[in-house]
Amino acid sequence: MTNQPPPLTGYDVFAADPALTEGVARYVAGEHLGAAREELGRLGQAAGSAQAQRWGEQANAYPPVLRTHDRYGHRIDEVEFHPAWHRLLGHAVTAGLTDAWGRPHGHVRRTAGFLVWTQVEAGHGCPLSMTHAAVPALRAEPELAAVWEPLLTSRVYEAELRPAARKTGALAGMAMTEKQGGSDVRANTTRAEPLAAAGEYALTGHKWFCSAPMSDAFLVLAQAPGGLTCFLLPRVLPDGTRNAFRLQRLKDKLGNRSNASAEVEFDGRTWARRVGEEGRGVATILEMVAATRLDCVTASAAVMRQAVAQALHHTAHRKAFGRRLAEQPLMRNVLADLAVESEAATTLALRLAAAYDGGTARDRAFLRLAVPAAKYWVTKRCTPLVAEALECLGGNGYVEESGLPRLLREAPLNSIWEGAGNVQALDVLRALRREPAALDAYLSEIGAARGADHRLDRAIRGLLTELADLEGIEARARRLTERLALVLQGALLVRYAPPEVADVFCAARLGGDAGAAFGTLPHTLDLAAVVERARPVVAE
């Protein structure tokens, strides 16, 4: 056998990614940097191991199974997962991927870890994200947060369903979407009737999508007497009996097959606790949605990085027509283009995480605009990038064993859940209209890069012109959102990335000097340096 590359295994996924390691060093202060590098290095080694890669394959080869009833006909409403799923989740929880709030640089460290570990398997990122993101929403009800926050941020993974008082670690999910509409949650029909005890309600209705249904608790929206309200719905009641949480079906999904996404019904005896005031449900749950949207950016960056790493590794070994593929000028053009797209996504995800850590009013204003813009753009770039990376492996890439088909099936998901593309673009308009501080914070962020690159400067001027003209703004929302994201990525790369990376980005994404497909960069750029920077190095 000749000319078949070795598998990309036995490497440190963190250390092998300069965009990621440099980003962590940029945002994590000196006294915490050593510890952050050490923990991320350990996670990186685990992520690059043959063992973890096998768990990822198994969790997808043996998808979850719904068990509605036990052998005697009692309802149990459980989903059974392959042990590999639990190993993946257990490793992630122990590594702190649900533990960001209140830790020094917790968001940057967690985002970097999530970017590393999602490269093993993307499906189990869903419960990790929702568990992490439930915390700020729950804080609207301090009494509930006092019970649940320590469980959700715990580093102990306990899969068994038990009441909160008898757990040391717990997972949370979210159930907003109903049959009649997901984007338009105000159309929700699930009802919440107040019970005698303050803050307690009985729910009747359904949810059309409810992922990770074996989580310990869910944040749910339902119509209370005072309007749409957020609730915490535990799977097990405080007295140890099961809450009425009827799993009807599991979705047969394009990808994300290791994860279960259920249809669920609430039968009038479903017990829930109110989170925040009646009628403030959307505002309360949006705290959670904002954090999961950042995770959509990070997960897309992870899927992109893994696809690019595979393409770079394969082409560094495989020869055609007498030369390694990566040394062929046209393949080098493709690889450099993919590598820069991946670096732009990683750099943006880390910048957003750093703003979460900053936590100032200005950081929050920046996130208000930058998160929906980034969610729109980075998630949308994921699918074409993975498809092109797959092609770099030729026929091998189209075969399941390469892992690329799994990445390609996963790729579109992050642009759908937590609000599809149009919904993000419309949210950008809402932020521009209602929160002037958001645009100010964004402009001062990109302003820091002004004067460094003429193509970026021109793009900023063009963006300002677009922003000044509100004619037909709703139909132009995608175009505007794309420009906001590209200019922000360009500003970050000009400030922080090596010149050859920023040069490619500014030429191709801002200067218009490239075609629509990947691999159409100007040949005069230093493409070899870009490719070499991104190539994952495996110790011999």
Ligand X SMILES: Cc1cc2nc3c(=O)[nH]c(=O)nc-3n(C[C@H](O)[C@H](O)[C@H](O)COP(=O)(O)OP(=O)(O)OC[C@H]3O[C@@H](n4cnc5c(N)ncnc54)[C@H](O)[C@@H]3O)c2cc1C
The footprint of ligand X (CB under 6 A) covers 173-177, 181-184, 209-211, 253, 256, 261, 413, 416-423, 426
Q: At CA 534, angle to CA 531 and CA 539, rounded to 5?
A: 115
What gap in Å lies between CA 250 and CA 9, rounded to an integer? Answer: 33
* Cβ at position 215, least distance to ligand X in Å: 9
Output the 3-class SS for 67-129: EEECCCCCEEEEEECCHHHHHHHHHHHHCCCCCCCCCCCHHHHHHHHHHHHCCCCCCCHHHHH
Query: What's at 130, amino acid-wise?
Result: M
Closest approach of Cβ 40 to ligand X, in Å?
28
Which is closer to ligand X, CB of 219 or CB of 486?
219
Q: Which is nearer to ligand X, 407 or 460 (CB)?
A: 407
Comparing CB distances to ligand X, the nearer of 177 and 190 is 177
User: Whole-angstrom Cα distance, residue 105 to residue 113?
Assistant: 12
If we measure between CA atoms, which residue out of 275, 196, 279, 198 comes closest to residue 234?
Answer: 275
- Rg, the chain, Cα only: 23
End-to-end CA distance of the chain: 20
Pick from 211, 208, 232, 237: nearest CA to 221: 232
Structure tokens at 273: 């606790």
Give the nearer residue to ligand X in terms of CB position, either 184 or 267: 184
Residue 86 CB, nearest approach to ligand X (Å): 19
Q: How far is the CB of 199 from ligand X (least distance, A)?
A: 22
Cβ proximity to ligand X, 107 vs 207, nearer residue: 207
Task: Report the interhelical angle of 527-534 vs 281-317 (nearest 10°).
Answer: 110
The tokens for 365 are 């204003």
Instruction: Return the number of the residue (257 or 509) whose C-beta is nearest ligand X.
Output: 257
Neighbours of 136 (CB within 10 A): 18
Q: Which is nearer to ligand X, 186 or 461 (CB)?
A: 186
- The first and second tokens of residue 25, run together, are 């060093």
- Whose Cβ is closer to ligand X: residue 21's or residue 259's? 259
Q: Cβ-closest residue to ligand X?
A: 182
Residue 270 host element (H or E): strand 261-275
Cα gap 198→205, rounded to integer Å: 21
Go through the chain and tell me how many residues it has.
540
11 vs 376 by CB, closer to ligand X: 376
Facing residues of 173 across strands? 218
Residue closer to ligand X, measured from CB, 299 or 506: 299
Closer residue to ligand X, CB minimum distance, 420 or 437: 420
Bridge partners, 250 (sequence order): 262
The token duo for 92 is 């992630």
Select from 396, 44, 134, 81 the least CA-distant residue to 259. Answer: 81
DSSP 8-state code for residue 185: G
Helices H / strands E in the chain, number of each: 17, 11
Give the phi and the psi of residue 172 in degrees, each rounded to 5: -125, 150
> For tokens 């691999």, what's the residue?
519
- Which distant-in-sequence residues (6+ apart) come within 8 Å of 313 by Cβ? 5, 8, 535, 536, 538
For residue 436, the minimal CB distance to ligand X (Å) is 23
Nearer to ligand X, 122 or 164 (CB): 122
Which residues touch 223 (CB under 8 Å, ≥6 apart)?
188, 189, 190, 191, 192, 229
Q: From residue 417, how far is each of 85, 314, 318, 410, 517 by CA, in Å?
A: 21, 32, 37, 12, 26
Which is nearer to ligand X, 331 or 408 (by Cβ)? Answer: 408
Q: How far is CA 359 from CA 101, 123, 363, in A?
A: 11, 29, 6
